[in-house]
Each structure stands twice: as structure tokens, then as C-alpha cells.
Amino acid sequence: MRVPVTPPLQILLASTLAFACAVVQGVVALKSGVWKQGNTRFVLMGCGFLLQTGFIYLRGQDVGQCPMKTLPDILVFIAWSIVLLYFLVGSAFRLSLLGAFTAPLVSVMQIMAMAGGFAAYPPKGKINALIELHAAVALIAYAAFALACVTGVMYLVQERMLKRHQIGGLFYQLPPIQGLALAIQRLVRLGLLLLSISLGTSFALHTPVSNPKLVFSWVVWGLYAVITVLMWRHFTSPRRTAWLAVIGFILPFISLWIVTHA
């Protein structure tokens, strides 16, 4: 059996540094009030993403499977998915500031992952593609929920400034609250769809219903299904929906820790 080797942490460290630089650049730009749609942030996020991808690839090589077994691995994978979704939806929703709000979350997740350490685990004898797909799609769904949470924070900040007549600084940089509300809805729907696909594949895997990972995944699915229905039927205001998207993400985040330690 091949002995697993810890992949070069320097790659992940460099990726985290790139995201941290994007955070600093964003904070400096927001504080100075001169927010440009320049390439610097995009390049920093792109570098961080490429390094993340390299780290996940090497880690996958080492453990002989898609690295999603331990909490640090999961955190890195979700962080990677968040950045991927940021590149996909950020421009689609014209949310230029999303990167500035996403970079801190991604940096924190990767710092937490590095602090936890990357334990070696034996490679799988035979890889079941369906299991890998099930896990990967679930984690990308969690990334969509994370991005909905970030967008929710942006909404709440902008809404507060509008309500309190605090016009200046960040106010001019943030998108209209109507657009942010729409982005939250779409991200929650996307996450729910991906999680549904992931849970759908679990039926084909004959996983015991009592499996804690599955139980928590269904709980998360239930929570976001409720949020989706509330949004769809307009039972709550966009502000409450934004709060739900922000607070709601706590559950999947905690569930990650529980399922990896169960």
C-alpha cells in the first residue's frame, strides 16, 4: 500500500495569502472610498483559486480519492466551491463587491483548515464514482448556501444604511437591495437543487437512513426547503429572508463538524 504524504501546505498557505490580500485590498478600497472595478481583486481571487485547485489535486493524489473525508479537507473543498461559484455568479448578478465579502470567509475557512491539520488516511481500494459525486455535489451545495449567506450580509448592510439615511462610503459601492434579494433567492435555490441531487444519489448508494451524515444533510435540506418556500410564496420580507440566509448557514456549517466527527 502506498503511504500517504501530506501535500505541500505551502500551496494552501499561498492561496490563503492571495485571498487575504484580496481582503486587504477590498478593505483599503472601501475605506478610501475609491472602489474600482480593476483587475487586482480578480487576479488575486484567480490566483487563490488556482492554488486551491492545485492543493486539492495534490491532496487527492495523496489520499487516493476526492479529499472530502476530514473537516479540514471539507473546509478547503467548500472554500474552493465558494470561489468557483463567485466567479460563476458574481458577474451574472453584477455583484462586483461579492469578492470583497467572499474573500474573508474563504480566508477564515482555509486558516481553520490549516489549523486543524491534514491527517493522512489510507487510499480507498476502489473508488465508487457515485459516492464521490454525492459528496462533491453536497459540498458545492453548501458553498451556494455560504454565498447566499455572504449576499445576505451585503443586503442587511445596504438595507440598514438606506433605513438610517447613512449615505456614503460603502453605500455607493453596494448593488441595489432588490438585486441582492434576487441573488439570495437564486443562490438558495441553486444550493437546494444541488443538495437534492446529492441526496437523490444517496438512494442509489443504499446508505442506512440512520447514517448521521445523511440525517444532517436531510435536516439542512429541510431548512433550505422551508426558506425557499417562504421566499417563493413571499411569506416574509426580503430583510427576513436575508437574515434566514445568514443565520441558516450556521446549521450546515455546524453539521460539517458533527458529521466529520461522527
Partner 1 sequence: MPEPTDNSSGLVCVGLNYKTTPVEVRERLAFPEAQVPLAVEQVRGLPGFEESVVLSTCNRVELYAAHSLPSGHHGHAALRDYLIARFELQPEHAEAMVLYNLDADEAARHLFRVVSGLDSMVLGETEIFGQVKSAYKTALATGSTARTLNKLFQQAFTVGKKVRNDTMIQRGSTSVGSVAVDLAEKVHDLKECRVMLVGAGEMSRTCAQSLLSRGAKSVIVSNRSYEKAVELAAEMKGTAIKFDEWEHALHEVDVIISSTSAPHFVIKPEQIEQVMRRRRWEPLLLIDIAVPRDVDPSVNDIEGVYLYDIDALQNIADDGRRERERQLAACERIIEEQLEKFGYLKPPGASQAGLLVS
> With binding defined as CB under 8 A, does residue 185 bind partner 1?
no
> With binding defined as CB under 8 A, does residue 2 bind partner 1?
no
Residue 170 CB, nearest distance to partner 1 (Å)? 11
Taking the C-alpha atoms of residue 96 and residue 27, their distance in angstroms, rounded to an integer, is 14
> With binding defined as CB under 8 A, does residue 209 bind partner 1?
no
- Our CB check for partner 1 shows the closer of 32 and 210 to be 32
> With binding defined as CB under 8 A, does residue 26 bind partner 1?
no
> With binding defined as CB under 8 A, does residue 172 bind partner 1?
yes
> With binding defined as CB under 8 A, does residue 238 bind partner 1?
yes
- Our CB check for partner 1 shows the closer of 17 and 230 to be 230
Residue 238 CB, nearest distance to partner 1 (Å)? 6
- Our CB check for partner 1 shows the closer of 206 and 234 to be 234
> With binding defined as CB under 8 A, does residue 186 bind partner 1?
no
> With binding defined as CB under 8 A, does residue 234 bind partner 1?
yes
Taking the C-alpha atoms of residue 242 and residue 36, their distance in angstroms, rounded to an integer, is 26
- Which region among 117-125, 137-145, 159-167, 187-195 touches partner 1 (by CB under 8 A)? 159-167
> With binding defined as CB under 8 A, does residue 168 bind partner 1?
yes
> With binding defined as CB under 8 A, does residue 163 bind partner 1?
yes
Taking the C-alpha atoms of residue 42 and residue 148, their distance in angstroms, rounded to an integer, is 20
For residue 127, give the DSSP letter. Answer: -
Site for partner 1 (CB under 8 A): which residue of 174, 183, 184, 246? 174
Quickly list H helices, 33-97: 40-63, 71-92
> With binding defined as CB under 8 A, does residue 178 bind partner 1?
yes
- Which region among 72-80, 99-107, 126-134, 167-175 touches partner 1 (by CB under 8 A)? 167-175
> With binding defined as CB under 8 A, does residue 176 bind partner 1?
yes
- Our CB check for partner 1 shows the closer of 163 and 206 to be 163
If you write DSSP's letter for every residue of the chain in order, what string do you get?
Answer: -PPP----HHHHHHHHHHHHHHHHHHHHHHHHT-----SHHHHHHHHHHHHHHHHHHHHHHHHTS-S-SSHHHHHHHHHHHHHHHHHHHHHHTT-TTHHHHHHHHHHHHHHHHHHH-----PPPSS--HHHHHHHHHHHHHHHHHHHHHHHHHHHHHHHHHHHTT--STHHHHSPPHHHHHHHHHHHHHHHHHHHHHHHHHHHHTT--TT-HHHHHHHHHHHHHHHHHHHHHTT-S-HHHHHHHHHHHTHHHHHHHHHHHH-
- Which region among 125-133, 144-152, 175-183, 248-256 touches partner 1 (by CB under 8 A)? 175-183
Interacting residues toward partner 1 by CB under 8 A: 33-34, 36, 158, 162-163, 165, 167-168, 171-172, 174, 176-179, 234, 236-240
